Structure 1
Amino acid sequence: MSSIFPTGELSPQLKLHPGYSRVFEPGHLTFGFIAPLESYPDTPGPTLQHHVAMAQKADEAGFAAIWLRDVPFWDPNFGDVGQILDPMIYAGYLAAVTRHITIGTAGIVLPLRDPLIVAKQATSVDQLLGGRFIMGVATGDRPTEYPAFGIDFDSRAARFRDAFTLIRTATEQSWPRHSTQFYGELDASIDLVPKPVGARIPTIVIGQSGQSLEWIGENADGILSYISKPALVAQVTERWRIACGANGYKPYGYGTLFDLDRDPDCPVQPGRILRAGRNVLIELWKRQEEDGVGHVALHFKPQRRHASEVIDELGEYVLPHFPSRAAPVQPSRTRT
């Protein structure tokens, strides 16, 4: 069966980007993990024991990406604190202990952060990773965090757009001029350093962040959403394809809570957790690849088995069907 998705190529800038091109390629599905790479079904947070070894295992096995969440507080109403560590600091640390795997954020909560500091952090991490960085950005889904920062929750969508544009301007232009509604003004008298390794840092939207699909398709380099019902994937990717319209190919990926069953033929179980055996999942993901899914990010929180065991099984049996792409070698800009 042929894909309903366009088979056009990535833009030249993104095709040469080491991190982005490893994760996204038209007509091809890759796999990554949402940190922490640890099973913790009964606690709000992980132990982070052996987290370096798990990141290196995923890297050496050939997976495409590790995604870091931005969760500043523990809100008991949500019961999950992600990888605990700040995503930008953790990305810099992972730069030193991994070699090939892309490190992404999923995603930086833009309305709660100063966008120029985010820009500085992003370009710094990108330099440390040698271009293996994708910045995922979001508005966050926890209303209780906004009062702590003194920010109006209802303004988050507008703040997101304002911050998004400012970050792109500061990281991609030299001595820029730019005015914002919620933040400051650049008057061409100062220039952000360092600049990205490549022409720019690929930026994707996590969830929908209060924006229309059309806005995301026009302004971002892709979308990473959440899917709880695999049967709806074809409908979602078709809506995304239409929203991208004349902007050409923009990748669609999703993240999901994941539990790999020991029985390789266990069927997909109903519920918000993707729970099944590897043989069933391979066929499911082949269909989703045909439907236009470009990346799947697996979240180990509800996993009943040790993460090391699951990574090994996926690497041996699943990854050969969906190999990550070798990243092109791209000369760095002069680091300042």
Structure 2
Amino acid sequence: MTIDTSGASSHAFAHHPGYRRMFAPGALTLGIFLPLRFYQGDMRALAGQADLVAAMDRQGFAAAWVRDIPLYDRRFGDAGQLFDPWTYLAYLAARTQTLALATGSAIFTLRHPVDLAKAAASIDQLSGGRLVLGTAAGDRASEFPAYGVPHATRGERYAQAVHMFRQLLRPGPAQISGPLGSLDGLELLPKPAAGAIPLVVTSSSGQPLAWIGRHADGWLTYPEATHTPDGPRRLADKIRAWRACIPDGGFRPHMCNEWLDLVDDADYPRTPVRSGYVLRTGRKGLIDLLGEWRDAGVNHAALGIQHGQRPAAQVLQELAEEVLPHFPSHAGVPARGPQW
């Protein structure tokens, strides 16, 4: 089987509200990873979170990110936002107007492409074209036995799932024959609101860099070190190497994420904590880091504030008032279609 999963140029998303709000060459925007506070045995940790996401929409953030963690493994100590990502994005779509809704990341190896395409296209329609689909092969080996999927096959299965997913979203009935299933004249509905959904590859997802260059609509990677300029310089080298693999040389956005403990001292220096997994800093250090990322070629920064000690609403307010003006969201295009 020939797998044609080529990524689309930015022109393909010229009318996609979520993509246009988040991405433009030479610029960086800000998004927030959910949950705003970690689950530690009590669902009430998420109480009021949707209200804060609605406030983020009004404050001008570019995106809200949700994670796809089907099963809680205590060894990771992180259950994400607990709610199924598709169900929760549908809820947030009804609470927001302009905020892009992003997955970081949908596990394409553990879910069938028909179900992925149905859910993604539904969210995209319900939100008026605001879905940006981060995808991954899955990094929690403990989840794979529950799905009957060998962890060792995740790279191959990921590429197969991306192929079938894109085939299903094309106009008209599908003709598909492959290892994950066959369709003969059946059609998946609905189709995306703007005709396509940006498909972002997370980390390597079991693929070589050349594959990501050819097939990704964008690339989400973990940062290098964030407490000194050396990390962003290494990140710039990685981004340049990836963009050199893009066949037409056109723009594809790069995204990066950081877990952040934003302290109330604006001058607090950038300090790695929790073995470098979290960056503790004041807002001036964060602004410096984001500027270094932008210069490195990063187009969107997804920040997680779960590890912070301050109230989430307070941190979001400071980010909106003091940091967001340096990295504003793009006006883009308005959400498409009726208010379902």
Unaligned runs of 5+ in 1: 1-9
Residue 308 of structure 2 corresponds to 303
1:218 aligns with 2:220: no
The C-alpha deviation readout for 1:96-155, integer Å capped at 9, x for no partner, is: 111110001111111111110110111111110000111111111100100111111111
In structure 2, relative to structure 1, the CA distance for the partners of 1:41 and 1:200 (3 Å cut) is closer
Residue 3 of structure 2 corresponds to none
Unaligned runs of 5+ in 2: 1-8
* Preserved contact between residue 46 and residue 83 of structure 1 (Cα < 8 Å): no
Match of 2:297 among 266, 272, 292: 292
Amino acid at match of 1:261: V
The C-alpha deviation readout for 1:149-193, integer Å capped at 9, x for no partner, is: 111111111110111111111012311212212x11122x21111
Aligned residues: 323
Runs (4+) off by over 3 Å:
40-46, 329-333
Residue 76 of structure 1 corresponds to 74
Aligned-residue CA RMSD in angstroms?
A: 2.0
In structure 2, relative to structure 1, the CA distance for the partners of 1:148 and 1:233 (3 Å cut) is same
Residue 331 of structure 1 deviates from its aligned partner by 5.0
For residues 160-239 of structure 1, the aligned pairs below 5 Å read 160-181=158-179, 183-187=180-184, 189-230=185-226, 231=231, 232-239=234-241
Residue 286 of structure 2 corresponds to 281
Counterpart CA distance in 1 for 2:261 and 2:203 is 22
1:265 aligns with 2:260: no
In structure 2, relative to structure 1, the CA distance for the partners of 1:331 and 1:56 (3 Å cut) is closer
* Preserved contact between residue 24 and residue 251 of structure 1 (Cα < 8 Å): yes
Residue 54 of structure 1 corresponds to 52
In structure 2, relative to structure 1, the CA distance for the partners of 1:33 and 1:242 (3 Å cut) is same
TM-score normalised over the length of structure 2: 0.90
Residue 17 of structure 1 corresponds to 16
Amino acid at match of 1:185: S
* Preserved contact between residue 169 and residue 191 of structure 2 (Cα < 8 Å): yes
* Preserved contact between residue 30 and residue 295 of structure 1 (Cα < 8 Å): yes
Residue 11 of structure 1 deviates from its aligned partner by 2.6
TM-score normalised over the length of structure 1: 0.91
Tell me the SS of whatever aligns to 2:109.
helix
Counterpart CA distance in 2 for 1:211 and 1:143 is 17
Counterpart CA distance in 1 for 2:308 and 2:246 is 35
In structure 2, relative to structure 1, the CA distance for the partners of 1:247 and 1:332 (3 Å cut) is farther
Counterpart CA distance in 1 for 2:308 and 2:335 is 37
Residue 149 of structure 1 corresponds to 147
Amino acid at match of 2:183: L
* Preserved contact between residue 19 and residue 132 of structure 2 (Cα < 8 Å): yes
My pick for the range that moved more, 268-277 or 127-136, is 268-277
For residues 307-322 of structure 1, the aligned pairs below 5 Å read 307-322=312-327
Amino acid at match of 1:170: L
> What percentage of aligned pairs have identical amino acids?
39
Residue 107 of structure 1 corresponds to 105
The C-alpha deviation readout for 1:5-37, integer Å capped at 9, x for no partner, is: xxxxx6322122100110111111001011112
Residue 332 of structure 1 deviates from its aligned partner by 3.9
